[in-house]
Amino acid sequence: MTTLSPWLAQPGSSEERAVVRASWDRARRERLAPDASASLALDGAALEATRAAHPLTPALPVISRLLHRDADDGSGVLVAVGDAMGRLLWVDGDRSLKARAESMLFVAGADWSERQVGTSAPGTALAIDHAIQIHRTEHFAEVVQPWSCSAVPVHDPEHGGLLGVIDITGGSEVVDPHVLPLLEATAAAVERELLVQRLTQARSAQPIDVPVLACLGVDTGTVTDGRERRLTMRHTEILALLALHPEGLSGGELAAMLSEHDTSPVTLRAEMTRLKRALSGIVRVESRPYRLATALETDVDRLLSLLDRGAHRVALSCYRGPLVPGSAAPGIVAARDEIAGRLRTAILTSASAEVLYDFASTHGRTDRDAWMQLLHGLPPRSPRRAAVVEHLERLDRELA
């Protein structure tokens, strides 16, 4: 006979036991019996078609990278991904455990919603739209009570709608305290990956009708409008400053931004004449004040737009390096520091641990605060923790 009070069977917080109690109450209202079991909702071509069309499919490599390495043969762990209806679409992991789980129809295509099997991590996480762990006899159906599971819902990164669920099933170890933060971090990484892919696709679908200045990470920038024109460093500096100041700059203002020393009006005018010639037919520059008279997009514009939209992974991939890194022009130096500061602040404030790791490993090698935040943000059993600790110790030795 199924235990009628599962919240008394497993130690845990009163809040967790209340969640289980509420789930059992819903199962009783659905008139489920203790011998409730999953049913096969999708099979064969229907399952393949549902998988192909599901919005989580593009993010499967993220789930695999973060979870499947801990769910190989002998691990005693299964990783399942389901849709918003509670139907399991993928079940992978320990092959011997997978074979055992087939006896309770914990397989791809099976319906594991609360309406079908009562309390379980994947079904209940979807029902309450919140991460949850279910330990053995907290399950409503008797056939599931030898198992434990943890699950977290996944949401659309743009409108917040429920897309599906990620679940880890196995023995008591899958409800250890470290498991839920790992699942939540995985769900966050999946949502960010989906946003990144959408932004990238939207960008690639746009026609190239506005010339683009590339000036991040290079001293000699390029202007591209279907063909590429290489600029000198001085012309790159001037064009970047004009793009950053669309309202225009007087001759004196532009000269001061280009050099701490006085730049004669004659020298500046000669340089501007050469720049206009180099950009003939692509970008038009006006005088009095100096300003761009035609549209010009820069890789700086793209970077800042992505940061504003929360697409930190794409923004980091766009950041090839500091603005005209070899330039000592005061205006460029000031803009360079501001751009790098905005990127760093956005990533340290809002980005996932994975993106923070990429930032620290590339542009923040000596940024101790970034490495410390990364250490605090990694799951307790992350294989990257040892490397992060070693890097912090190295930084401390160098600073000593």
Rounded to an integer, the average pLDDT of 158-163 is 86
**CB under 8 A, 24+ apart: contacts of 63-71:** 63/166, 63/186, 63/190, 66/182, 66/185, 66/186, 66/189, 67/166, 67/168, 67/182, 67/183, 67/186, 68/92, 68/93, 70/381, 71/168
Helix (H) or strand (E) holding 82: strand 77-83
Rounded to an integer, the average pLDDT of 76-91 is 96
In the chain, % of residues over pLDDT 90: 70
- Residue 196 has a CB neighbour count (10 Å cut-off) of 21
Please name the amino acid found at residue 230: R
3-state secondary structure of 214: strand
pLDDT of residue 354: 79
The tens digit of pLDDT for each residue in 285-297 reads: 998 899 999 999 9
The tens digit of pLDDT for each residue in 222-244 reads: 999 878 899 999 999 999 999 99
- Residue 181 has a CB neighbour count (10 Å cut-off) of 16
Phi-psi region of 45 (alpha: psi -120 to 50; beta: other; left: phi over 0): alpha
Please name the amino acid found at residue 46: A
pLDDT tier, 70 (very low <50, low <70, confident <90, very high otherwise): low
* More confident call, 379 vs 256: 256
Rounded to an integer, the average pLDDT of 308-320 is 85
Is the pLDDT at 158 greater than 80? The verdict is no
> Contact 359/316 with Cβ under 8 angstroms?
yes
- Least confidently predicted of 84-98, 143-157, 326-340, 343-357: 343-357
pLDDT of residue 13: 46
The DSSP secondary-structure symbol of 294 reads: S
Is the pLDDT at 111 greater than 90? The verdict is yes
Q: Structure tokens of 296?
A: 């010009």
The alpha carbon of 69 is separated from its chain's Cα centroid by a whole number of angstroms, namely 19
Rounded to an integer, the average pLDDT of 246-253 is 93
pLDDT tier, 201 (very low <50, low <70, confident <90, very high otherwise): confident
pLDDT of residue 352: 79
The tens digit of pLDDT for each residue in 329-383 reads: 999 999 999 999 999 999 998 877 878 988 999 999 999 999 999 998 887 777 7
Instruction: Say how many CA atoms lie within 13 Å of 100 toward its Cβ.
Output: 15
pLDDT tier, 157 (very low <50, low <70, confident <90, very high otherwise): confident
Is the pLDDT at 258 greater than 90? The verdict is yes
Rounded to an integer, the average pLDDT of 302-323 is 88
First to last CA, the chain: 66
Beta-bridge partners for 308: none
> Contact 65/185 with Cβ under 8 angstroms?
no
pLDDT of residue 121: 97
Mean of the per-residue pLDDT values of the chain: 89
C-alpha separations of 339 from 244, 297, 300 in Å: 11, 16, 8
Helix (H) or strand (E) holding 362: helix 353-362
